[in-house]
Structure 1
Amino acid sequence: MDAQQFLAEFGHIVNAPGGIAQLREMIYQLAVTGSLSTRRDQDSDVEILLADIEQVRQRLIREKKYKRIKKLENEPVQPPLEFKIPESWRWTRLLDVGEISPRNDAPDDSLVAFVPMSGIPQTHLGALFVEIKQWSKIKKGYTHFSNHDVVLAKITPCFENGKSAVITDLRSDLGIGAGSTELHVFRPIHDGVLPTYVYLFLRSPLFVAEGKESMTGTAGQKRLPTDYFATRAFPLPPLEEQTRIVAKVDELMALCDKLEAQQQEHRKLQNALRQSTLRAVSSAESPHELQDSWARLEANFEQLFSAPEDVDELRNLVLDLSIHGLLSEKDDNDESVELFTERCISGKSDRLSAGKMKRKAAKATDVTQLDINLPEHWQRIPLDALFQFIDYRGKTPPKTSSGVTLITAKNVRSGQLNKDPKEYISEESYRVWMTRGYPRIGDLLFTTEAPLGNVALIENDPKFALAQRIIDLQPFADLNTRCAMNFMLSPTFQKLLIDNSTGMTAKGIKAAKLKQLELPIPPLEEQDRIVDRVEKLMHICGALESQLHQTKELSDRLASTAVAALTGISTEQEEEKPVKAPQTELISPLRLGQTPDIKSRAPLATLLARHSGEMMAKDLWQRFGGEIDAFYAQLKTEVYHGWIQEPAPAEMREVFAEGAGV
C-alpha cells in the first residue's frame, strides 16, 4: 500500500458518515492481503507449514478425531483473480487448515459454557456473553465449540453485522461449550494457524463481500452456506507474519476506538452548542432581538448542523417562536383580535341555533391555560371557542376495495395529509357514518391517539370519511388555520398536550379535555404574516437539510471510492437513478457576479468564489453534488439575485443526446 495515497484518502474515509466502520473494514482487508506487514527472510516457509498441517489432518482422520466434509475435500482452491498476495503467502481454504463444525465429547455432568446469538459480539474481538449450563442439557441441538475456535454468525442480519468471535477463556470445567445453531465454527488443528488471524479474514471484505451474495434462503432467513465458509480462498502468511499482522490490527483498531470516541465527543459538544444557540434564539424578548440572534445562528449554520436530522430542532424552534409571538410585530392597522373573537362567538351560536352541534359548553374553570408570555394584543382562546369538534365514534364501517377514501390516524402526519396507506368504505356507509358533519377545505385534522397530536390541513377535495382517533376541527370564523396548525405543532403546545393526556405507552387525549386547551390567537392579518414568515424560515430549513443530505452523499461516495482504491473492494451501492438530461446545455464558463453576504444561501456562488470566480458549468455541477434539476433550480435562484452573471443566449445550446450534460 502506498502510504501517501492512504494519508490522502484517510480524511475522506474518517469524516464520512459511518467512516470509522469503513476504516475498520479496510484495515481487515489490508491485513489479509499483505498490506499491513513486511516480509522477513527468517520467517518460516508456508509450504512446509501446509505440509505439516496435512500430516496432522490425516493423523486425526485415522484416529477418528476429525469431522470430514468429503464432498468438498477434492475441490481445488479458487483464488480471486482481482487480488494478489505476497510471494511468501499461499492461497488455501479453512477446510484444509482446520476442522469445520467440530463436535465436543464430555461427561454429561460437566459444567460448560453456553453462548446464545445475543452473546456473540459485533465489535472487534469483543467479549462473549457466557452462561454456565450442564453439558447434558445442551450437547444436542446446539453448535459445539471450544477455546481457540473461531465462530461466525451465518444468518442474516447477524452475518452482515459482523457477529463473530475468537473463543477464549471459557468459564467451564473443560474449556468447551455450545451455543446458537446459527453459527459456523472453525477449529485450528495446528499451531501454525492463529485463530485471531482467521478471525481477521472472516471479518474482511475479501470474505464478506462475496459471502453476502452467496447467502441462500428467503428474505429474513438467509444463511451463509457451509460450502462457502469452508472453501472460500484463504490467504495464509507465515506464522511469524500472522503474529505481526494481528498485533498491527489490534494497534489500528485501538486507534479507531480513539477516533470514534473523539467523534462522539465532538458530536456531543456540537449538539450542546447547537441547543445552547437555539435556546438563546428562543429566549429573545422582541422581534428585533430575535433578528439579531437569528443572524448569529445563520452565520454559524455549518458549525452547528452536521446531519440532516439536526434540522428538526431548527424547525421546532421556528414553530415555538411563532406561538410565542416573536415572528411578527403589532400593526395598528390590523383589526383587533376582539372583533375576531366576537365572530367566533357568533359563528358558534349560529351553529347551535341551527342544531348543527350540541350545546355543551365547558366551564370557565375547566380551561387549561398555556403558561407562556404573549404579546398584549393577542388573546388566549380555548379550542372549544375556536372550532366545532367533529368526530366519529363507534365501530368503523367495513372496509371495501374501492369507494370513498377512509382517512385514518396513519394518514395524518405533522403538517401534511398522506394518501398512503389507502383504505375505503362504501358510498352508503359514508353517508351514514358522516351524519355528524363533513370535513371542509381549511379544516384541521387532529389525531387524539397513536400518535397523539399530529395536525394536518385539508387543502383540497375533502370528500373522505374519517376513522376513529381523528377529530375534524372546523373553525367558527375566518381563522387562518395554517397558523393555528403551526401553533399546535410547536413543542410548547405539544407539551401541553402530553401534560393533559392519559395512558402509559400510547398517550391519548379525550375530546372533552382537548376542548379546554388554550391556543394563542393574534389579529387575523397578523396570522397571515406569521404564516408567511414561518414558510420562509421553513424554506431555509429545507435548503439547509438538502445541503446536508448532499454533503452526506458526497462524503459517502468519496469514502467508498477511497476504500475501493486502497483495497480493491467496492462497497455495495444502491443502483443510481438515471440522471435526467436538461433540454439545454451551458457551453461557456459561469462567472461570479455580486458576492453574496454571509447570510445568503448561495452554494454555487460560494464555489465560484473559491475558484477565482469562474468555472465551467459541468465542473460546478459536479462539485455541487446534487441532481441536475436541483442544480439548475439553484443556478436560476442565484442568477436572479445577481450572485452569478446571467449566461447570454448564445452561451447555451440544445441537447438531444441521452444522459446528463451541463
Structure 2
Amino acid sequence: MAELKTLHTSAEQLITEHLDIWTTAIEQKSSSGRGSSKKFSLHGIKKLRELILELAVRGKLVPQNPNDEPAAKLLERIAAEKAQLIKDKKIKKQKPLPEITDEEKPFELPKGWESSNLNDLGEFQKGYAFKSKDYLESGFMITKIQTLTDNHIQNAVYIDPKSAEEFKQYLIFEGDIVMTTVGSWFSAPKSAVGRSFLINKQFNNSLLNQNAVRIRPYTGLNPMYLYLCINSSTFKSYLVKVAQGTANQASITQASIKSFEILLPPEKEQHRIVAKVDELMSLCDALEAQTENSITAHQTLVEVLLEALLKAPEQGATPEQTAEQFQQNWQRLSEHFDTLFTTTASIDTLKQTILQLAVMGKLVPQNPNDEPAAKLLERIAAEKAQLIKDKKIKKQPALPPISEEEKPFELPSGWEWVRFGSIFIDLKYGTSQKSDYGIDGQAVLRIPNVVKGFVCIEDLKYSKLTNKEKEDLKLQSGDLLFIRSNGSLGIVGNCTIVDRDLEDFAYAGYLIRTRLPQRFVLPKFIALVMKTTHIRDQIEKPIRTTSGVKNINSTELGQLSFSMPSLEEQHRIVTKVDELMALCDLLKARLNDAQTTQLHLADAVVENAIN
C-alpha cells in the first residue's frame, strides 16, 4: 500500500536523516526567578517519541510477516475467553458497542491487522472509594492515583488485610494498565486526566482507589502494546474530544475509554513492535542526554568567559595591566560571539554581565573631569536636610556604615559605595484599603500593573481614599515602585519606573514608592542597579517568609548597598546599557524566530511521516 511508505524498513533512517531537527528543535519555557530548573524542553525529541509511537500503532514501524497468525484469529480466542468468563460469572455480560465503520477508520490497515476497541480487549474495573477513616500505617496497600502520578510508592496507605478479601475485585497485578479518570487538563501531563500506567512489581497485588480504572488485557495481548496505544497522540486527541469538565478538574467516563479504537496486529507482531519501540526509545534517551549535556556545556562555557570579564584584577596589577587583561578577555569573547550567544540562556547571561560591568565601572570609559560621586552625595544630603527642616519629609534613622565585606569589587576613581536609603528623599508604602469599589474610587496600581517592568494601565481596581491619602500616594514621573511581596506574581525587590505623572492614581500595599532627587540621581540608573546580581543577592538574603509569601521591608530596602558614579557617568552608562540591551533583544528575537522554524519543522516531519 502506498500509505505504508515502507517506513518500517527504515525507522532508524527517519531518525538519522532528521537528526539536526530532533536535537535543535528546542522550546524555551517561561520561568521566573533565578536558578529555576530546566528553562527549555527538547521539543524535537518529544515529537520523535510521538512519531515512534504513532508508527508503531499504525503498523509502520516493523515489517509484517505473512506467516504470522492474523489478528482475526486472536480476536476469536479473546471472544471465547470472554464468553467463558461471563459463563463462569467472573464478569458481567456487556452491551455490545457499535461496530467500527469504514468512515471511522482513518487509513487502511496492514495485512493481518484488525480494528477493535478497548472494551473487547480487556477486562475493566473501576477503583473503589476507600474511606480515609479505615487507613492504617501497614497492612494491605491501597494504590491512589497520586501515588501512580509520582510513579513510586510514597506516603502509602493501607487497610486491614482481613478486610481485603471483600475488595478482591479491585486488586491490580503486574501487567494491568491503570488509567486516571479525573485530573487536570492535558497541558499538565503529570496530573492529567487519562494518564496511564503499566503496573509493575512494586504495585503488584494492591487495591485500586477511586478516580482510576483498571484494564486487564485478555490472553494473547501484549500489555505493553496496549499501553503504547493509549499513550499515542491518537489517544490524546481522542481524550480531548470525550473528556468533560474544566481545565483544573476534567474527567473521562469508563464508557468513553472502552470505545477507543485499537488497531490490533498479530500476536507475534505485537512483540516485535514492543521490542523495536524499546530500542528506539533508548536511542531517544541517548539523544536527549547528549543534547542536554551539550546545552549545559555550552552555557558553562559562556558563563566562564563572561565571568572572566568580571574577575578582579590580579594583586599588584597596575590600572594599565588591568585594562589590558580586560581587553584580552573581551577580545576572546568577541571572536566567538556568533557561536557563543546562540541560546536564550546565553543571551540572558550576557545581559546580566552587561549590567554587572556597568555598575563596576567597566562598561564605559571614565572621565577624570567628572565631578566625584562624593560631591554628589554631599548635595543629596544637603537637599534632604533642607526638606526635613521644611517638614516636607521626615528624618530617617541613621544608616550603618558599609563594611569591607559588603564591597565585592574595587571601584574606579571618583565612585562611592552608598546605601539606597541615603539617596532617596521619600519612601512610602501603598494603601491597604480594599480595591473593589468599581470606578467610583481612586485607581490603584497593583502588582499585575507593574510586574512587566513598566506601568500598565489595564485591569485597574479602585479604592475609597481620603484626600490626604490621595495626595500622599500620588505618583510622579521618575518614581520607583518596588514589589515588596512575591504573592503569586511578583518577584521581591523588582522595581518599575513611573514614566509619567499619575496624579489620579495610587498604589497598593504590596508596593513601595521611592522618590529620588533627579537632579543628582537618574531613576534609570537605579533601576538597572536593582537588576544586578549584587543587589539581588542582598535582596534575597534578608527575605522573610510568612505563609509561603516572601517579603522585604523598607528598612531592608534602604540598607541595600551599591556603587555610585558621577551624574555624568550615570548618563553614559544608561545610554550604553540601553544600546546593548536593544542589541541583545534583537539577537533574542532572531533566535526565537529560528527556534520557531525548527519547532514547525519537527511538527511537519512527524505529520508527513504518519499521514
TM-score (norm 1): 0.76
1:496–1:8 CA distance, 2 compared to 1 (3 A): same
Deviation at 1:565, TM superposition (A): 0.8
CA 1:454 to 1:154, structure 2 compared with 1: closer, same or farther past 3 Å?
A: same
Partner of 2:506: 465
**1:85 maps to 2:109:** yes
Q: Is the 8 A contact 1:441 1:460 kept in 2?
A: yes
Tell me by how many angstroms 1:383 deviates. Answer: 2.5
Classify 1:170/1:457 alpha carbon distance in 2 versus 1 (closer, same or farther; 3 Å). Answer: closer
Aligned to 2:82: 57
The answer on whether the counterparts of 2:402 and 2:418 sit within 8 Å (CA) in structure 1 is no
Unpaired runs of at least 5, structure 2: 1-5, 27-42, 129-133, 314-321
- Measure the CA separation in 2 of the matches of 1:262 and 1:36: 24
- The alignment's C-alpha RMSD in Å is 3.2
What residue is the counterpart of 1:155 in the other structure?
Answer: 182
Which has the larger displacement, 326-335 or 287-296?
287-296
Residues 156 and 222 of structure 1 are in contact (CA less than 8 Å); yes or no, is this contact kept in structure 2?
yes
- Contact 1:101 1:143 survives alignment (8 Å): yes
Q: Give the Å deviation of 1:566.
A: 1.0
Q: C-alpha distance in 2, partners of 1:551/1:496?
A: 37
- Shift of the 226–361 alpha-carbon distance from structure 1 to 2, 3 Å rule, reads closer
Alignment of 1:11 onto 2:20: yes
1:537 aligns with 2:607: no
Aligned residue for 2:501, secondary structure, equals: coil
d(CA) in 2 for partners of 1:364, 1:189: 77
Of 532-541 and 302-311, deviating more is 302-311
Contact 2:415 2:564 survives alignment (8 Å): yes
The separation in 2 between residues aligned to 1:75 and 1:119, in whole angstroms, is 35
**2:480 maps to which of 444, 463, 466:** 444
CA deviations 1:44-79 (Å, max 9, x no partner) are 232222222211211211111123431xx1411246
Q: Deviations over 1:239-274 (max 9, x none)?
A: 111111111111111111222221222222122212
Distance between the aligned counterparts of 1:270 and 1:406, measured in 2?
45
1:423 aligns to 2:461 (yes or no) = yes
Write the deviation string for residues 66-100 of structure 1: whole angstroms up to 9, x where unpaired.
23431xx1411246433222111111122223322
Q: How many residues align?
A: 554
2:275 aligned partner:
247
Q: 1:375 aligns with which of 412, 420, 432?
A: 412
Counterparts of 1:113-512 in structure 2 under 5 Å?
Answer: 113-120=141-148, 133-134=159-160, 136=163, 144-157=171-184, 161=189, 163-169=195-201, 176-190=205-219, 192-283=220-311, 290=326, 292-362=328-398, 365=401, 369-392=406-429, 395-396=432-433, 399-402=436-439, 403-413=441-451, 415-426=453-464, 429=465, 431-436=467-472, 438-450=474-486, 451-463=491-503, 464-476=505-517, 477-503=519-545, 506-512=549-555
Instruction: Please give the alpha-carbon distance, in whole angstroms, between the structure 2 residues aligned to 1:467 and 1:206.
Output: 49
CA distance in 1, matches of 2:501, 2:596: 38
Asked if the contact 1:6/1:566 (under 8 Å) is kept, the reply is no
1:13–1:563 contact (8 Å) kept in structure 2 = no
**Aligned pairs for 1:61-72 within 5 A:** 61-70=86-95
What secondary structure is seen at the aligned counterpart in 1 of 2:460? coil
Deviates more, 1:451-460 or 1:367-376: 367-376
- Name the SS for the 2:46 alignment partner: helix
Distance of 2:169 and 2:349 partners within structure 1:
49
- Given that 1:415 and 1:485 are in contact with CA atoms closer than 8 Å, whether structure 2 keeps it comes out as no
* TM-score normalised to structure 2 length: 0.82
Equivalent residues in 2 for 1:567-646 (5 A)? 567-568=610-611
Q: Is the 8 A contact 1:392 1:436 kept in 2?
A: no
SS in 2 for 1:83: coil
| Matched residue type, 2:71 | V
Q: Contact 2:222/2:270 (CA < 8 Å) preserved in 1?
A: yes
Question: Where does residue 587 of structure 1 map in the other structure?
Answer: none
Match of 2:120 in 1: 96
SS in 2 for 1:329: coil
Query: How far off its partner does 1:10 sit?
Result: 4.2
Q: 1:5 to 1:323 in 2, by over 3 A?
A: same
Deviates more, 1:45-54 or 1:10-19: 10-19
Q: Distance in 1 between matches of 2:390 and 2:233?
A: 74
CA contact 1:151–1:167 (8 Å) conserved in 2: yes
Contact map agreement 2:373 2:565 (CA 8 A) in 1: yes
- After TM superposition, the structure 1 stretch with the greater mean CA deviation from structure 2, 51-60 or 216-225, is 216-225
How many Å separate the matches in 1 of 2:542 and 2:600? Answer: 47
CA 143–397 in structure 1, closer or farther in 2 if over 3 Å, else same: same
Q: Percent identity?
A: 26
Provide the C-alpha distance between the structure 2 equivalents of 1:453 and 1:284, rounded to a whole number of angstroms.
27
Secondary structure of 2:179's partner?
Answer: strand
Change beyond 3 A, Cα 1:95–1:367 = same
Q: Deviations over 1:246-303 (max 9, x none)?
A: 1111111111122222122222212221221221122276666555534543554454
Deviation at 1:167, TM superposition (A): 2.4
Unmatched tracts of structure 1, length 5 or more:
569-662
Aligned to 1:610: none
- Asked whether 1:28 is paired with 2:60, we answer no
